[in-house]
Amino acid sequence: MILFSLVLLLTGGYQNVPGIIDVATEVSNGIYSIKKIAELARTRGIKVVIYADHFLERIEYGIPPFRNIIKKTIKMRCIKEYGIEKYISEIDRVNRLFPDMLLIPGCEVRPIHYWTGSAIKKSLVLHNMQKKFLIIGLGAEELGKLPIIGNVRLSYDQYHGDPGYTPYQDVIDYTIDNNGVIFWTLPEAGAEEKRGGIVIKMPPHPESLLKTHGYTGFGIIYEGMKKIGIPGGIWDAILKEYMEGQREKPIWAMGEIDYHYEGDAGRKRIETVQTVFLVKKFDKESVINAMRKGRMYAMNRTREHALSLDEFSINGKACMGDEIKISSTPVLRFRLSSGLDSIKVTVKIIRSGEVVRVFNLITPVEVQFKDEYFKPGKWAYYRLAIRGEGCRVFTNPIFVRFPLR
């Protein structure tokens, strides 16, 4: 059994709380019950489980000109079929059985899919099945009114070509307006399938992050590291847009387990990909607020090794998600540990998209780094990318403003 403790951070009195995000159950395309997931996660030292079953899985095609009369509908297990209130209530009920954990309901949402081709000519192609969000923090009433195809009446449908990003922005705006958090899920995963003569195209879509605004973040592990999370990639481009005033807020990275059962997708275990939350109180609102504010880091581990980022701060005051004003060069400090083992790690310090220093270290280790960078009237951000013996850690940024002298 692998045990984790809640580690008290020196900066700001935050606790490191290990969690998993995007966990499917038997309600949709998972195997285990809500309770079984909690039991298993608890044995592996996980303190927070964010469930994310499919909200609505219904694909429909109608033959023109009688689309509402001559049509084929495929329904799959999902929250809407199970019952929205029942789903939330069951997670709350199970949470009462595990008072030392936080079990939080969420859902995977596909705003729209659309068709091209012809059923008569046997050339049907189904698009956008992979473009999904992970939504957390909405109640049953708000979920029941989600502006997605098949849930409410919309001004667009699946029969008139690619609707662009309007359906996605509508869902983002609705979620944020109702005090939820929303992440692009698996943005760099892609596939193409053929089922019953229908081609299902699901290409990667990292550009979606650039073409939408106002969402909370994205899953960096595993399907957000090719073009998005690399130094100078799409994430850094978006963070620069924020610094330049083109976006109202930054976007944050989280670890996305995309869990269905033990051994899935390359022998994945329930603790393989985690999001570690920085919270002062151990309650659901604090965890959701940590996601909203970027007070978290993404990590993946092996069965044998796990890295813990015990501190990442600037000038001893600011931590992940913070903005700090300083009138001198910034001093970064980080502490890494790995339980009872010592492992070799490489730590990259990334300033505004550029790698400015690389450390090769052995845990446990504590480093203080003074960056000789000071530009009055400008600002920058810092984030860390850490690798070692099959383990990875990606922090969220700390923003630094340099006021005019």
- Find the CATH number of the domain harbouring 235: 3.20.20.140
Domain count, the chain: 2
d(CA 383, CA 334): 11
What is the band of 7 on the pLDDT scale with cuts at 50, 70, 90?
Answer: very low
pLDDT category at 339 given cuts 50, 70, 90 is confident
Across 4-8, 73-77, 146-150, the highest mean pLDDT is recorded for 146-150
Please report whether residue 113 resides in a domain.
no
Q: What DSSP designation does 268 have?
A: B
CB 35 within 8 A of CB 295: no
Which of 300, 317, 341 marks a domain boundary?
A: 300
Asked whether residue 330 is assigned to any structural domain, the reply reads yes
Q: Give the CA distances from residue 405 to residues 245, 318, 376, in Å, rounded to whole numbers and listed in that order.
A: 22, 21, 7
Specify whether 367 is located in the same domain as 319: yes
pLDDT (0 to 100) of residue 61: 82
Identify whether residues 28 and 87 lie together within a single domain.
yes
Average pLDDT score over residue span 310-315: 97
From CA 82, how far away is CA 105, in angstroms rounded? Answer: 14
- Residue 215: predicted pLDDT: 98
- The answer to whether residue 6 sits within a structural domain is no
> Which region among 20-24, 77-81, 193-197, 331-335 has the lowest average model confidence (pLDDT)?
193-197
| Residue 117 confidence (pLDDT) | 93
Lowest-pLDDT choice from 130-144, 149-163, 268-282? 149-163
The DSSP code sequence of 328-369 is S--EEEEEEE-TT---EEEEEEEETTEEEEEEEEESSEEEEE
Predicted pLDDT at 163: 95
> Considering only CA atoms, which of 143, 168, 144, 172 is closest in space to residue 156?
168
Tell me: the pLDDT tens digits for 129-141? 999 999 999 999 9
Indicate whether 308 and 391 sit together in one domain: yes
Q: List Cβ neighbours of 115 (8 Å cut-off, separation of 6 or more).
A: 61, 124, 125, 126, 127, 158, 159
Average pLDDT over residues 297-314: 96
Least Cα distance to 390 among 299, 276, 321, 287 occurs for 299
When pLDDT is averaged across residues 183-209 and rounded to a whole number, the result is 95
In 187-305, where do the E strands start and end?
191-195, 198-202, 217-221, 252-255, 273-279, 296-300
CATH number at residue 403: 2.60.40.10
The one-letter amino acid at 197: G
Q: Are residues 312 and 238 in the same domain?
A: no
- Looking at the chain, the whole-number percentage of residues with pLDDT higher than 90 is 87
Q: Is the residue at 199 inside a domain?
A: no
Place of tokens 């605004």: 213
3 pLDDT more than 80 = no
Band the pLDDT of 46: cuts 50, 70, 90. Answer: very high
Lowest-confidence region among 90-99, 192-201, 220-229, 328-337: 192-201
Count Cβ neighbours within 10 Å for each residue of 146-163 and write b for 16 or more, e otherwise.
bbbbbbeebebbbeeeeb
> For the residues 203-213, what does the mean pLDDT come to?
98
Mean pLDDT, residues 214-228 taken together: 96
Radius of gyration in angstroms for the set of CA atoms belonging to the chain, rounded to a whole number: 22
Looking at residues 281-289, what average pLDDT do you find?
98
Structural domain boundaries, residue 393: 303-405
Whether residue 195 is contained in a domain is answered as: no
Average pLDDT of the residues in 30-41: 98
Buried b (16+ CB within 10 A) or exposed e, 365-397: eeeeeebeeeeeeeebbbbbbbebeebbbbbbb
Same domain? For 310 and 276 the reply is no
Kindly state the average pLDDT of the residues 207-225.
97
Verify that 340 and 404 share a domain, yes or no.
yes
Residues facing residue 253 across a β-bridge? 218
**Rounded to whole angstroms, how far apart are CA atoms 246 and 234?**
15
pTM for this prediction: 0.94
Query: Where does the pLDDT of residue 18 fall: very low under 50, low under 70, confident under 90, or very high at 90 and above?
Result: very high
Together in a domain, 45 and 90: yes
Q: How far is CA 93 from CA 38, 79, 84, 376, in A?
A: 12, 16, 14, 54
Output the average pLDDT for the chain.
Answer: 93
Cis peptide before 261 (omega within 30 of 0): no
What is the pLDDT averaged over residues 167-176? 98
For residues 393 and 350, the answer to whether their CB atoms sit within 8 Å is: no
Picking from 279, 300, 321, the residue at the C-terminal end of a domain is 300
Report which of 94, 45, 91, 32 is spatially closest to residue 261, judged by C-alpha positions: 32
Specify the higher pLDDT residue, 250 or 67: 250
Give the pLDDT score at 113. 95
Q: Are 333 and 367 in contact (CB under 8 A)?
A: yes
**Top-confidence residue, 187 or 341:** 187
**For residue 158, how far is the Cα from the chain centroid?**
27
Residue 125 is assigned to a structural domain of this protein: no
248, 275, 300 - which closes a domain: 300
Instruction: Evaluate whether residue 163 is within a structural domain.
Output: no
**Are residues 295 and 309 both part of a single domain?**
no
Give yes or no: residues 134 and 225 share one domain: yes
